[in-house]
Chain A
Amino acid sequence: MDQDTVVLSLRQLTKHFGGVVAVDGIDLDINKGEFITLLGPSGCGKTTTVRMIGGYEEPTAGQIIVDGQDITNVPARDRNFGMVFQDYALFPHMTVSDNIAYPLRMRKWARDRVAGRVSEMLDLVRLDGMGKRHPWELSGGQRQRVALARALSFSPRLLLMDEALGALDAKLREYMRVEIRRIQRLLQITTIHVTHDQDEALGMSDRVVVMRQAKIAQVAAPRDLYTDPTSVYVADFVGRINLLWGHVVEHAADATIVELDDPFPPATATRIRARRTPDQAVGSRVRVGIRPEAVRLVEGGGVLAGVVSGARFGGPLEYVTVAIGPDRTLDLLRRPGDAPPQGNVLLDWAPDQALVLPAD
């Protein structure tokens, strides 16, 4: 797999709907064989973006380039991209086989070649023997797989998926994530997937494009996105995070010192050591972000003191909420002990786990 060959480039891609800016000048390069996820809340422009790539929406401005060729004005039918729609868009009057054969018949494939490919695809998505059924005779997960098989049957240049797992229940969704990734790796097909589900985005993708209000907030591999978010928005959208206000006091050799804003109870260091972030100037207002799983309960010392105000058991892990000042709490995630902690506690974390983020 040439990881570094750019297959698809978006250049200042823009879409206006009347006066509403749905997508605002997006630039993005997608590599061959990559699984990319556009992640964001509803209305952030992710679906419009993937629909423009597919040719279902005409860009207001900007370009879409595939293999060095500008396809911005090429109609959907000539793009040769597979698309899995949110509601699957299976043809209800055709059987599963006819649905999968549809793009092949459009390409005037010979009859036995069509039949061969259809049975290959049914095998691939593990629906052998289901070819004669109609979409309404299938479960949600099976329909999803038919839609995937249909989108892949003609060996498209790109696979697009718009909230393709949204209609499935949680268990099935998890299973399909693995299935889709298996098939994607097998075919080595460049894939652009749209979702609002962060677990899905982190669990399936090579890279995640986080979108916010018609723009790209950050592009990164799932791990990097989680550990090195560049904004409060991304840190908060991807996973859970505790956010404290403060300002930068000093950049030490191994840490950035931040003075926290709020008044805290005694035994609390109001100056904390956080990950060294020299691009935040001394004196600038920042948010300090700490993931709940980075916060530890300690016997002595520690960074902050607080009072346990609640605990929520969640199977292998439990969330503990600690009040660290008036109207301020901090969540921590830990393996449940014999009993949840109570009363006064001391909290600590490694300086590197405290992210210094621009205040926005």
Chain B
Amino acid sequence: MRNRRWNWLVIPMLVAFATIYVPAIVSFVLISFHPSTGPGSVGPEWTLGNYAKVLGDAVYQTGLWRSVALGAITVAGSLILGFPLAYYISRYSSRFAIAVFTLLYVSSLTSIVIRGLGWITLLGTTGPINGILQMLGLIQEPVIFYGNLLGLSIAMIHYTLPFMVLTLLPVMHAIPTGLEEASSGMGAGFVTTVRRVVVPLAMPGVLAGSLLVFAMTISAFVIPRLVGGLTLRLTALLIDQEMRTTYNYAIGSTLASVLLLLVAVVVVMASVVGGRSRVAR
């Protein structure tokens, strides 16, 4: 639809953004440039002091690094699990494939709180996962999953996997199966065909899914709070703490702005990479 006649269809969305979301973002970005003057208030003068503090303080630095690390691990994990799954579902419309997809989809509809609590039980030192690992003789002592990146990554990958698969699926579907047939007919094995044909053509979906999962993960709150516990202080948890416990709006806003900037940088990087591998059709 190249006709401009339909442009008005985006107006409701633009109005909602302009009146609700943009002012919210602008206001916390603005607050981040003012000094804190006590719980719940900021002074009128302009300053970069909040940023100096956030970027200089070890607690905030660690929080940021952990958030980025968790984002990267979660992206990698959901991609490693999601890519083959999306490929399988897109290529084999068998009953089993549909069942797998339905299971995944339904599980993504479960309340995030319930899933977080479920992982606490599953990953506990006396939980079934440690039980099985010990039974198989793979470990002597229980692995501690609670309160560290290991357990949190497992829970986050589970949480984000459906979003990764749902983003990859349409892209996979759009790759004609004839290309894979052509590749095999010219002497390529399955792995070579996937590497040289499927992966490059699925790249837009891989990038979009990775961005989505990354943004979801570094701003996630509920699962980090439940599975990460109080000791694993990620940026999203620190923001909550500044905003609702210490009422330091200036620092809270600054942390939020830094997260926002981080996501923006990743989006720009991804579109540069994506632009280079773009396939016009």
Contact = CB atoms under 8 A, between A and B. Distances in A.
Interface string A81-98: 111010101011100000
Nearest to B188: A106
A132 interface: no
B279 interface: yes
Nearest to B177: A89
Given A77-B187, A106-B188, A106-B192, A89 B181 contact: yes
B188 to A, nearest CB: 5
A91 B184 contact: no
A80 B279 CA distance: 29
Contact of A76 (B185, B201, B277, B280): B185
B281 interface: yes
Given A103-B187, A106-B186, A85 B178 contact: yes
Nearest to A85: B178
B181 A136 contact: no
B200 interface: yes
B176 A89 contact: yes
B185 A87 contact: no
B176 A87 contact: yes
Interface in B180-230: 181-189, 192, 196-197, 200-201
B181 A77 contact: no
Contacts of B201: 92-93
- With most chain B CB atoms within 10 A of its CB, the pick from A54, A78, A82, A103 is A103
A137 B96 CA distance: 40
A17 B198 CA distance: 27
Interface string A11-36: 00000000000000000000000000
Interface string B256-272: 00000000000000000
Contacts of B280: 92, 134, 136
Nearest to B189: A77
A87 B277 contact: no
A93 B185 contact: no
Contacts of B26: none
A107 interface: yes
Interface string A114-158: 000000000000000000001010000000000000100010000
B178 A76 contact: no
Contacts of B277: 93
Contacts, number: 61
Given A85-B178, A106-B192, A91 B197 contact: yes
Nearest to B190: A77
A82 B181 CA distance: 12
Contacts of A278: none
A77 B279 contact: no
Nearest to B178: A89
Given A93-B277, A136-B281, A106 B181 contact: no
A85 B187 contact: no
A85 B182 contact: yes
A83 B279 contact: no
B179 interface: yes
A313 interface: no
Contacts of B192: 106
- With most chain A CB atoms within 10 A of its CB, the pick from B176, B183, B186 is B186
B187 A93 contact: no
B185 A102 contact: no
Contact of B182 (A55, A80, A83, A93): A83
B187 A54 contact: no
A239 interface: no
B200 A75 contact: no
A55 B186 CA distance: 11
A136 B179 CA distance: 15
A49 to B, nearest CB: 16
Interface in B130-188: 176, 178-179, 181-188
B186 A102 contact: yes
A107 B187 contact: yes
B187 A106 contact: yes
Nearest to A134: B280
A39 to B, nearest CB: 22
A92 B279 CA distance: 7
Contacts of A77: 184-189
Interface in A184-222: none
Contact of B185 (A55, A91, A92, A134): A55
18 contacts: A56-B185, A76-B185, A77-B186, A77-B189, A81-B185, A83-B185, A85-B182, A89-B176, A89-B179, A91-B197, A102-B183, A102-B188, A102-B196, A106-B186, A106-B187, A106-B192, A134-B280, A150-B186
The 3 A-B residue pairs with the shortest CB-CB distance, nearest first, are: A103-B186, A106-B187, A89-B182
Interface of B: 176, 178-179, 181-189, 192, 196-197, 200-201, 277, 279-281
Given A83-B185, A89-B178, 11 more contacts: A54-B185, A76-B185, A83-B182, A89-B176, A91-B183, A93-B200, A93-B277, A106-B188, A106-B192, A107-B187, A154-B186
